[in-house]
Amino acid sequence: MQALKIIGYRRFIGSLSPDGYPGAPAFDPPDTQPPDDQPAYGWHPMASTVPLGDNDYTQRVIASMVVGVPDVSLYAPGDLVILDGRDYVVSQDVRDYTTGPFSPGPGGEVIVERVTG
């Protein structure tokens, strides 16, 4: 199966403070450069949730997308994936389909999220 779509990709290279707390997120390539182009089979919505409870969060929407890719080894939680010009964060471990019991599968899935509101 041939991947006919192209998505943007920035690898997360986060940092820790001297006290061990996460610092500001950093990515490679940085925002001052174009993202790397990576092949993809396509993507589709997985879920959309609105957190309930605290008023500060009731206006937020968390949209999850499933991205089909030929090589999942590139992706890790925290990485940025750019779909149609919008930044999404890899939010889960990848789903690798190349090790199936019957025959190697066509890559796998990457779950990404975007928070708005």
Reduce the DSSP state of residue 73 to 3 states and report it: helix
For residue 97, the SS3 value is: coil
For 89, the token pair is 């964060």
Q: What is the pTM of this model?
A: 0.82
d(CA 79, CA 100): 25
CA 63 – CA 77 distance, rounded (Å): 16
39 CB-near residues (< 8 Å, 6+ apart): 3, 5, 6, 7, 69, 70, 71
CA dist 12 and 78 (Å) reads 6
For residues 28-50, average pLDDT: 91
- Rounded CA-CA distance 24/87 in Å is 16
Q: In the numeric block, which tokens belong to residue 25?
A: 């997120």
pLDDT in tens, 76-96: 988 999 999 999 999 988 999
Give the 3-state secondary structure of residue 42: strand
Q: What mean pLDDT comes out for the span 51-76?
A: 82
5-116 has which fold? Thrombin, subunit H (2.40.10)
Find tokens 């396509």 and name the residue.
42
Read off the pLDDT band of 65 (50, 70, 90). very high
Domain boundaries of the chain, sorted by first residue: 5-116
